[in-house]
Amino acid sequence: MLDDPRRHVDPPGRGRIIRRPTVASPPGAMEPRPGAKQRNAAGMVVMAVATTGCFTGDDIQQPSPDAFYFPTALVASSGGTTLYVANSDFDLRFSGGSIFAMDLRALRGAVGPIAERIAEGDDVVAACAAAGLSVNPDPWLNPGPCDAFPGPPFVANSVFVGAFASALSLTHNPDGAGARLFAPVRGDPSVTYLDVEDDRGAAAADPASFRLDCQVDEAGFCDVRHRLGQDRDRTLRGVQLPSDPIGIAATADGGALVVAHQTEQAASLVVNDWSSVPELTFFVGGLPNGPTELAAIPEPGFVAGSEALTYQSGFTLTFRGASTLDLLRFVPDSGAVPPRPFVTRAQTFPLATNASAFDSRGIAIVDGPRRRCEATCSSAADPQPCLEQCAENVPLRLYMANRSPAQLLVGRMNTVINRDGAAASSVRDEVFFFDTIPLNFGPNRVRVGQVLDEQGTPVDRVFAMCFDSRSIFVIDPETERVETIVRTGRGPQDLAFDQGQGPDGEPFAFAYVAHFTDSYLGVIDLDQRRPNTYGAIFANVGAPQPPVESR
């Protein structure tokens, strides 16, 4: 039975005691980290409930303002000036985690010459020396030709948040300047948000502010007003955020975000009003076990031009404990006074591509073919029929990481337009999975990015990360074939893509991978014109630090 959006009931088992998420469930790992359960219990239990929601004690220190520590999420700014990094403080060594704003231009300028010199035929020693580095002493454990660049010089700004930040979502105001960064934080629990620089359209010479505005307190932590979901009196329905927020996704206009709660069988809704502050408004309960990752369904192009159509934005949701994929719908409920937005569990699609298909993790949607179809409609006298044909005839492509067995599920999402006469009246989506791609042990997240082909043209690729087996599969969505496998360090947890044109007009394409286990970033070359480094980590940022248990 679906939740009645007009009548809210808190899910069972949720209290105001801030709880530590299960140690056996790090962001991507299959098993608990060695020795994690034997940590000092007193240091884990004492909490600063009234301030940061983080763990404190005599042996707890302030987080480092410029050192990676169990990074879990990355996202690059739209204008290519800033790389945002979430550090989770997973072993609770510090009083919380952190969010960094890194100087992406400086980072790109430092690492780029290494790939260029190797492509030009320089040996590794010469390429590393030109960057001021020595040769990597342990390329098997931490792949890359050179030792690591120090991380602190590239960290332009940082703030502290609660422990166990699990993801990042960067949103932009479609009607003007403005950008916000949202982070589900499991240790509070909260959805922490920050106002950040909107660098869309930034020129190469424009300085970046590296803004991270969350009204930090004296200790450097984002204040309670920026930790959504902790105070039910600040919400329309009087709700609190369920515990264990882990996955997050936002609509294209950044007006609505849905968060998955891994241990509460729930998904919550944050409405982002660009004229004021975001607000937790609702959550839907009664979901299958282990809600994990979300992806926003790209809005069909014909929706904006249809006067009779009421379109509800959608999200796909995966589960660790169920062999299904759910489709959630955001309902603005703008006719109510005041508006009472909510989210519904609209459809459930069983996974029948193999005998199990349990323990699903990341999901990604490729809409490139549909967008290219829609681009051809601009020259039509009446683009609306053309846009509708693109929606009906060009399906979206779905890719979902599954751990039992280890594989990437390949599917399609068809857009079905219901009509009232000639006009579109409603839209529904039909999902089916028809193929699988075998992966290495421990798949976790799936991302969509672009690489440069041999002519320097950007082309779509799907990146499937395997946390346990230290690898990233690069898949061509046109052929559904594995193009290459990137060998990473321990615990690849997230990817951010850095693509554009340099000052000389030459295109570039890099990806940054967050290594959760050893707390550093790797840089992957995504330029097929450099076969010596394409699909490989060619630089590292931040000296790798093994976890305390293995030192």
Count of CB atoms situated within 10 Å of the CB of 450: 17
Rounded to an integer, the average pLDDT of 289-300 is 96
Res. 9: pLDDT tops 80 = no
d(CA 268, CA 252): 18
Instruction: Answer whether 482's CB lies under 8 Å from 437's CB.
Output: yes
Per-residue b/e over 239-271, b at no fewer than 16 CB within 10 Å?
bbbbbbbbbbbbbeebbbbbbbbbbbbbbbbbb
- Which pair of structure tokens corresponds to residue 436? 């699988």
Question: For 177-191, 281-295, 334-348, which range has the lowest pLDDT when averaged over its residues?
Answer: 334-348
Q: How large is the greatest C-alpha to C-alpha distance in the chain, in angstroms?
A: 71
The secondary structure element, H or E, covering residue 7 is none
Report residue 537's pLDDT band, with 50, 70 and 90 as the boundaries: very high
> Which has more confidence, 329 or 21?
329
Report residue 49's pLDDT band, with 50, 70 and 90 as the boundaries: very low
> Which has more confidence, 433 or 21?
433
**pLDDT on residue 203:** 83
- Write a three-state SS string for 462-521: EEEEECCCCEEEEEECCCCEEEEEEECCCCEEEEEEEEEECCCCCEEEEEEEEECCCCEE
d(CA 146, CA 149): 9
**pLDDT on residue 53:** 46
> Which has more confidence, 203 or 184?
184
Nearest to 103 by CA among 231, 210, 244: 210
User: What stretches of 272-405 adopt beta strand conformation (E)?
Assistant: 279-284, 291-296, 314-319, 324-331, 342-350, 358-366, 396-404
d(CA 384, CA 390): 10
Report residue 60's pLDDT band, with 50, 70 and 90 as the boundaries: low
Nearest to 125 by CA among 152, 147, 102: 147
d(CA 443, CA 391): 31
Instruction: Read off the pTM.
Output: 0.89
Nearest to 3 by CA among 169, 255, 237, 183: 237
Cα-to-chain-centroid distance, residue 23: 21
Count of CB atoms situated within 10 Å of the CB of 50: 7
Would you give the DSSP letter of residue 413? E
Rounded to an integer, the average pLDDT of 229-252 is 89
Report residue 71's pLDDT band, with 50, 70 and 90 as the boundaries: very high
Per-residue b/e over 204-228, b at no fewer than 16 CB within 10 Å?
eeeebbbbbbbebeeebbbebebbb
**pLDDT on residue 550:** 60
Rounded to an integer, the average pLDDT of 221-245 is 89
Cα angle value 32/283/365 (rounded, 5°): 70
Report residue 466's pLDDT band, with 50, 70 and 90 as the boundaries: very high
Question: For 57-71, 163-177, 184-198, 434-448, which range has the lowest pLDDT when averaged over its residues?
Answer: 57-71
d(CA 489, CA 491): 7
**pLDDT on residue 3:** 37
- Which pair of structure tokens corresponds to residue 320? 């660790």
- Give per-residue pLDDT as tens, 350-396: 998 877 888 999 999 999 999 999 999 998 889 999 999 999 999 99
Nearest to 230 by CA among 280, 181, 285, 272: 280
Question: For 1-10, 174-183, 274-283, 297-306, which range has the lowest pLDDT when averaged over its residues?
Answer: 1-10
Percent of the chain residues topping a pLDDT of 90: 74
Pairing of strands 266-271, 256-261: antiparallel
Question: For 61-65, 301-305, 496-500, which range has the lowest pLDDT when averaged over its residues?
Answer: 301-305
Count of CB atoms situated within 10 Å of the CB of 334: 10
d(CA 326, CA 318): 7
Report residue 40's pLDDT band, with 50, 70 and 90 as the boundaries: very low
φ, ψ for residue 463, nearest 5 deg? -120, 115
State the chain's mean pLDDT as an integer: 88
**pLDDT on residue 27:** 56
Nearest to 320 by CA among 10, 537, 22, 76: 22
Count of CB atoms situated within 10 Å of the CB of 42: 10
C-alpha distance from residue 299 to each of 252, 267, 396, 400 (Å): 8, 21, 11, 20
Res. 254: pLDDT tops 60 = yes
Rounded to an integer, the average pLDDT of 194-211 is 91
Rounded to an integer, the average pLDDT of 187-215 is 93
* 3 state SS of 551: coil
Cα-to-chain-centroid distance, residue 241: 20
* 3 state SS of 64: coil
Rounded to an integer, the average pLDDT of 63-92 is 96
- Give per-residue pLDDT as tens, 115-124: 999 999 999 9
Res. 179: pLDDT tops 90 = yes
d(CA 360, CA 442): 11
Res. 190: pLDDT tops 80 = yes
C-alpha distance from residue 189 to each of 17, 49, 192 (Å): 10, 11, 9
d(CA 166, CA 413): 27
Evaluate the CA torsion angle 335, 338, 339, 342 in order and state its sign. negative
- Give per-residue pLDDT as tens, 411-435: 999 999 888 877 888 889 999 999 9
Amino acid at the residue 163: A
- Give per-residue pLDDT as tens, 395-413: 999 999 999 899 999 999 9
**pLDDT on residue 19:** 35
Q: Angle formed by the axes of helices 368-375 and 383-393, to 10°? A: 160
Non-local CB neighbours of 143 within 8 Å, separated by 6+ positions: 487, 488, 489, 522, 536, 537
Rounded to an integer, the average pLDDT of 272-294 is 94
Instruction: Answer whether 227's CB lies under 8 Å from 162's CB.
Output: yes
Instruction: Answer whether 493's CB lies under 8 Å from 516's CB.
Output: yes
d(CA 150, CA 64): 14
Count of CB atoms situated within 10 Å of the CB of 395: 19
Secondary-structure breakdown of the chain: helix, strand, coil percentages, each rounded to the nearest 5: 15, 40, 45
Cα angle value 140/29/135 (rounded, 5°): 20
